[in-house]
Amino acid sequence: MDTTILYDVCKKICGTWDWTSNGSLCNKGTQIILGCNANVVDVMVLSQTNQVIHTQIVFKTDNKVMFCSFVYAENYYKKRRELWENLCFRNKFVYDKPWMILGDFNSSLSMEDNLFGSSKVTTGMKDFKDCVNELEVVDINSSGIHFTWRQKLKKGVGILKKLDRIMGNTCFLDSFPAACALFLPSRISDHTPCILKLPSVRPGKPKPFKFANFLTEKAGFRDVFSNGWKVDVEGVHMYKVVKKLKVMKSPLRKLLQSQGNLHKKVVDTRRELENIQAQIDSDPPNYSLHEREAIIMRNLNVATLDEENFLKQKAKVEWLGVGDSNAAYFHNKVKSKNHRGDAPKALVDYYEKFLGTHGTSTTLPADELFSKKLSARQAKFMVRDVTNEEIKEAMFGIGVNKAPGPDG
C-alpha cells in the first residue's frame, strides 16, 4: 500500500486509532500496518525493517509494560536470515522483560507444521528453528486452526502449512499467564487471522516456583541441574544452596513449558492410537501400521505417566498404589483444593467479629494457664544442639512428593 494514502484509508477503517507502518522501508508496498487505540495503550516504535516492527506497549489501566515485535518475513530463506539476525540482536535488550513475537514467519518450525508438502527439514526451517532456540521463546497456548496457510488448489489438495505464530519468552508467560492465541478460519484469504487474548493486564500476584517431579525423567534435566550446581557462589553453605537453587528456576520453568499441556497430550495421543488401530483393522497385513501403533503406544504410556505424576504431586496426596490411572481422582483433588481457597476468608470474618466485640479483658495470664511446666532437665533438652544425624533423619523422612513449607 502506498504510504501517502495509508493514513486516509486507516482513518476510514477506525478513525479514533493511531496508525503507522514500515512502508517506507519496503520495495513492494507496505508489508506491516500497525494500529492502536491510544485510549487503551501507549505504543512506541523502537525500530523497524522491511520484515519487522519492534514496539514497546504500555497498558494505561495499570502501566504494565511489554515488548512486541510484529513480523512479516520474506519468502526467500536467505533474505529471512536478516530477520533472524535482527530478532537475536533485539533479544539482548529484552531477554529479561516480557516480549512477544507474532506474525507471518513464512517458514514452518517442524515437520508437524507441514501437510502434503516437503517431507524433509529444509534449510529455511533449520534457520528458523535455530533462531527460536536462541531467543528461548515458545508458542503461546492456542486454539483454532493449526495450518494457518494454504496453497491455492490446483489439482487435488493443496499444501497446508503453519506459517503464522504468536510466541513469547519466559518473562512474558510469567507476566501474562492467561494469554492465549486464537487462529480463526481463513475464509477467502490464504492466511488465517491470529488474535492474541490477554484476559487481564492487571498486575497479579506472581505464582511461586514449584518443581514438577516428573521432569527428572526428561532429557535435559541432568544438564540443567549440573549447570546450575556449577555456578560459583560465595558465602556459607546454606546460602550457596539457596542461590544455586534459585539459578535453576528459570531453566526448569522452560523445561516444564517445553512439555506442553500434559492433559491435552494424553487426549491427543489416545485419539491417535484409536485412529491407527482402526486403520489396522481395515488393513491387518500392513506392517508399517503395526510399527506406528507400537510407537504411539509408547508415547501414550509416557504421556499418561507424566500426567499422573504431575497431578499426584499437585493434589498433595500419596499414591494410591492401584494399577489403573487415577487421573480423574487427582483432577477432583486439585479442584477441591482450589475450592477450599474461601476457608481463610471465613476464619478472618469469624475472628474479626469475635475479637471486635466489647467487653472486659486483662493482659495478665490466668493462674491455671501454666499449671503444667517443664522440669529443668526437660527444658535443657529442648534447647540442645541439633546433630547432623537428626538433620539427616528429618530430611530423609520427608515424603517423596513433599517439600518444607514457608516455615522451613
Q: Residues with Cβ < 8 Å from 2, sequence gap 6 or more?
A: 23, 29, 30
Q: State mean pLDDT over 383-404.
A: 80
49 and 185 share one domain: yes
46 and 187 share one domain: yes
Contact 181, 142 (CB under 8 A): yes
Tell me the CA distances in angstroms from 300 to 143, 296, 320, one per residue in order. Answer: 22, 6, 21
82 and 155 share one domain: yes
Q: What is the pTM of this model?
A: 0.51
Rounded CA separation 159/152 (Å): 8
Pick the last residue of a domain from 154, 175, 197.
197
Q: Does 242 reside within a domain?
A: yes
Which carries the bigger pLDDT value, residue 96 or residue 51? 51
Q: Does 104 reside within a domain?
A: yes
Domain CATH number, residue 155: 3.60.10.10
Which carries the bigger pLDDT value, residue 362 or residue 36? 36
Q: Is the per-residue pLDDT at 222 higher than 50?
A: yes
Q: Does 22 reside within a domain?
A: no
Chain centre distance of CA 210:
14
77 and 189 share one domain: yes
Chain centre distance of CA 17:
31
What letter represents residue 135's amino acid?
A: L
Strand partners, 52: 71
The pLDDT of residue 115 is 80
For 356: left if phi > 0, alpha if psi spans -120 to 50, otherwise beta; the answer is alpha
Reading the block at residue 289, the C-alpha cell is: 501400521
Percent of the chain residues past pLDDT 90, beyond the cut: 30
For 349: left if phi > 0, alpha if psi spans -120 to 50, otherwise beta; the answer is alpha
Q: Does 363 reside within a domain?
A: no
Rounded CA separation 308/328 (Å): 9
70 and 212 share one domain: no
For residue 181, give the DSSP letter. Answer: E
Tell me the CA distances in angstroms from 157 to 102, 115, 150, one per residue in order. Answer: 28, 10, 10
225 and 254 share one domain: yes
49 and 156 share one domain: yes
**Helix/strand/coil for 157:** coil
Structural domains of the chain, count: 3
Cα end-to-end span (Å), the chain: 63
**What is the residue-averaged pLDDT of the chain?**
82
64 and 192 share one domain: yes
Rounded CA separation 289/253 (Å): 36
**DSSP element (H, E) containing 135:** helix 123-135
Q: Does 80 reside within a domain?
A: yes
Rounded CA separation 217/213 (Å): 8
Contact 347, 354 (CB under 8 A): no
The pLDDT of residue 187 is 81
Strand partners, 373: none
Pick the last residue of a domain from 286, 313, 338.
338
134 and 214 share one domain: no
Which carries the bigger pLDDT value, residue 46 or residue 201? 46
162 and 221 share one domain: no
66 and 166 share one domain: yes
Reading the block at residue 334, the C-alpha cell is: 486439585
Q: Which domain covers residue 285, as residue numbers?
A: 260-338
Q: State mean pLDDT over 321-336.
A: 57
Instruction: Produce one character per residue of 299-326: b if its CB has 16 or more CB atoms within 10 Å, e if not.
Output: bbebbbebbbbbbbbbbeeeeeeeeeeb
Q: State mean pLDDT over 201-208.
A: 59
Q: State mean pLDDT over 62-87.
A: 94
CB atoms within 10 A of CB 104: 19
Q: Does 190 reside within a domain?
A: yes
Beta-carbon-side half-sphere exposure of residue 223 (alpha carbons within 13 Å): 5
What is the band of 103 on the pLDDT scale with cuts at 50, 70, 90? very high
Chain centre distance of CA 253:
8
269 and 246 share one domain: no
Question: What digits encode the pLDDT tens for the residues 341-350?
Answer: 555 666 677 6
Strand partners, 56: 44, 67
Which carries the bigger pLDDT value, residue 351 or residue 106? 106
Tell me the CA distances in angstroms from 212 to 7, 218, 263, 307, one per residue in order. Answer: 51, 11, 15, 11
Contact 264, 274 (CB under 8 A): no
Q: Does 14 reside within a domain?
A: no
Q: Counting Cβ atoms within 10 Å, is residue 270 exposed (0-12), middle (13-18) or buried (19+)?
A: middle
The pLDDT of residue 53 is 95
Contact 178, 222 (CB under 8 A): no
Q: Does 392 reside within a domain?
A: no
**DSSP element (H, E) containing 161:** strand 160-161
Chain centre distance of CA 159:
30
